[in-house]
């Protein structure tokens, strides 16, 4: 079984799609998660294999007319009881310890190093908007990051609840309106990865994907530079993004050449979060992503 599991993992890993999954990690967090998965699977095998192997053997040996001796009164054995409770308990103690350590170590709120790149993420129906406050740019549906540098994502949504996930880097975290959650990640190699929303939010849900472009620091700087000369993300453009639609539809509606925009209002993220806390009711027409949303009416 252990061999089989390894073989299975290798076969799966050779599969092209796995470039997207965390079994072929592109960063330290996903690598640790994969490590943890393998450890847990292997250790549980101690408790599981006896069942997988034992059941067929017992069924054969003790079948009616089979060789096994019949002991209809056998209903207790102290050593067996001890093993039955003890072995799983011991395994759980071990797994619990690992769970504790790894959960503390991989708290998504903990930065992965000093001076992380700050990216603010706003979930919209059905696209992700990334803001780079320090660089003064924004980008729809594309998250570009430099390889080797820790990244700190701060997430919220300007519509219903969503969950931002990049499997090859760090997995996922929920994003909710009026709230900010964190996800720290880092990519070790250059490449293109896929990210997604995993929390169902309507008909465009399946298409709410993200291109995660991991670049060399130089390429990344150039990419950022290009963004500062792109059309700017003003209030009207932002409001237009709130209309439910895919990334492609949004880019077309704003007639953008590529995903980048110039971020002129550094407080955009904070104001999106604050919108839900100002004590006034929000009419349907002011709720991005809702069927009744009207971009013109948003202040």
Please tell me the distance from the alpha carbon of residue 138 to that of residue 7, in angstroms, as a whole number: 43
51 lines the binding site for another protein (CB under 8 A) = yes
SS3 per-residue string spanning 141-207: CEEEEECCCCEEEEEEECCCCEEEEECCCCEEEEECECCCEEEEECCCCCEEEEEEECCCCCCCHHH
21 lines the binding site for another protein (CB under 8 A) = yes
Is residue 269 within a helix (H) or strand (E), and if so which, with residue range?
Answer: helix 268-274
Among another protein, ligand CUA, ligand HEA, none, residue 59 binds (CB under 5-8 Å by kind): another protein
- Would you say 176 or 230 has its CB closer to ligand CUA? 176
# chain residues binding ligand CUA, by CB under 6 A: 2
Report, in Å, the least distance between residue 260 CB and another protein.
22
**Stretch of residues binding another protein (CB under 8 A), selected from 112-120, 133-141, 199-207, 254-262:** 199-207
217 lines the binding site for another protein (CB under 8 A) = no
* Furthest CA-CA distance within the chain: 84
Return the number of other C-beta atoms located less than 10 Å from residue 188's C-beta: 15
Please tell me the distance from the alpha carbon of residue 114 to that of residue 186, in angstroms, as a whole number: 12
Site string for another protein, 100-139 (x = CB under 8 A): x-xxx-xxxx------------------------------
CB 121 within 8 A of CB 136: no
- Would you say 157 or 247 has its CB closer to ligand CUA? 157
Q: Which of 115, 218, 278, 296 binds another protein (CB under 8 A)?
A: 278
23 lines the binding site for ligand CUA (CB under 6 A) = no
Please tell me the distance from the alpha carbon of residue 146 to that of residue 253, in angstroms, as a whole number: 29
- Would you say 88 or 217 has its CB closer to ligand HEA? 88
179 lines the binding site for ligand CUA (CB under 6 A) = yes
Q: Contact positions toward ligand CUA, by CB under 6 A?
A: 176, 179
């Amino acid at each position: 079984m252990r061999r089989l599991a390894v073989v299975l993992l290798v076969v799966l890993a050779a599969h092209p799609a796995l470039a997207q999954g965390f079994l072929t990690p592109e960063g330290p967090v996903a690598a640790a998660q994969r490590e943890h998965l393998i450890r847990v699977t292997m250790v549980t095998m101690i408790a599981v294999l006896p069942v997988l192997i034992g059941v067929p053997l017992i069924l054969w040996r003790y079948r009616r007319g089979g060789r096994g001796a019949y002991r209809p009164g056998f209903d207790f054995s102290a050593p067996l009881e001890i093993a039955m409770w003890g072995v799983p308990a011991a395994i759980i103690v071990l797994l619990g310890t690992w769970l504790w350590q790894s959960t503390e170590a991989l708290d998504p709120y903990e930065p992965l190093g000093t001076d992380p790149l700050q990216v603010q993420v706003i979930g919209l129906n059905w696209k992700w908007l990334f803001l780079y406050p320090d660089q003064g740019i924004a980008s729809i549906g594309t998250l570009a990051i430099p390889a080797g540098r820790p990244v700190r994502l701060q997430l919220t949504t300007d519509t219903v609840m969503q969950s931002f996930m990049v499997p090859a880097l760090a997995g996922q975290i929920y994003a909710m309106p009026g709230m900010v959650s964190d996800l720290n990640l880092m990519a070790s190699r250059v490449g293109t990865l896929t990210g997604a929303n995993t929390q169902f939010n309507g008909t465009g849900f399946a298409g709410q994907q993200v291109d995660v472009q991991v670049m060399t620091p130089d390429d990344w700087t150039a990419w950022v530079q290009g963004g500062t000369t792109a059309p700017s993300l003003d209030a009207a453009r932002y409001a237009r993004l709130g209309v439910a639609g895919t990334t492609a539809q949004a880019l077309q509606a704003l007639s953008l050449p590529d995903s980048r925009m110039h971020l002129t209002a550094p407080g955009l993220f904070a104001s999106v979060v604050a919108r839900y806390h100002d004590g006034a009711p929000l009419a349907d027409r002011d709720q991005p992503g809702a069927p009744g949303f009207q971009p013109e009416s948003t202040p």
